[in-house]
Amino acid sequence: MTFPPQVPGPAADLDLVGPWMTRQRWFANKGARPRLEEIGRWELAPEPGVRFVTHLLIDHAAGGATLYQVPLSYRDEPLVDVAPIGRRGLAWVYDAPRDNDYVAALLRMLEHGSAASGAGASALGERNPASVPFDADSPSLHSRVLSGEQSNTSIIVEWPGTGSIPVICKLFRALHHGENPDVELQGALAAAGSTAVPRAVGAIVAEWPDSGRADGRARGHLAFAQEFLPGAADAWRLALESASAGEDFTEPARRLGVTTATVHAMLARALPTREATASDIAETLDQMRRRLDAALREVPELEAHRAALEETLALASASRWPEQQRIHGDLHLGQVLDVPGRGWFVVDFEGEPLRPMAERSQLDSPLRDVAGMLRSFDYVAGALGVTAGVDAREWARASRLAFAEGYGEASGTNLAECRAVLDAFEADKALYEAVYEVRNRPEWLAIPVAAIERISARVPG
- Residue 118's H or E segment, with its range, is strand 115-119
> Is the pLDDT score of 360 beyond 90?
no
Task: Tell me phi and psi for residue 226, to 5 degrees.
Answer: -150, 170
> Percentage of residues in the chain with pLDDT exceeding 70?
96
The residues of the chain that CATH labels 3.90.1200.10 are 233-457
pLDDT band at residue 34 using 50, 70 and 90 as cut-offs = confident
**Stronger pLDDT, 9 or 461, i.e. the higher one:** 9
pLDDT band at residue 383 using 50, 70 and 90 as cut-offs = very high
Q: What's the mean per-residue pLDDT of the chain?
A: 92
Q: Which CATH class is domain 233-457?
A: alpha beta
Given this model, what pLDDT does residue 353 score? Answer: 64
As a whole number, mean pLDDT of residues 448-454 equals 96
Task: Tell me phi and psi for residue 87, to 5 degrees.
Answer: -115, 145
Given this model, what pLDDT does residue 53 score? Answer: 96
How is residue 444 annotated by DSSP?
G
Distance of alpha carbon 284 from alpha carbon 308, whole angstroms:
18
pLDDT band at residue 133 using 50, 70 and 90 as cut-offs = confident
Distance of alpha carbon 69 from alpha carbon 49, whole angstroms:
23
Q: Are strands 122-127 and 50-59 parallel, antiparallel or unpaired?
A: unpaired
Distance of alpha carbon 171 from alpha carbon 117, whole angstroms:
18
Given this model, what pLDDT does residue 63 score? Answer: 66
**First vs last C-alpha separation in the chain:** 63
User: What pTM was computed for the model?
Assistant: 0.84
Given this model, what pLDDT does residue 130 score? Answer: 64
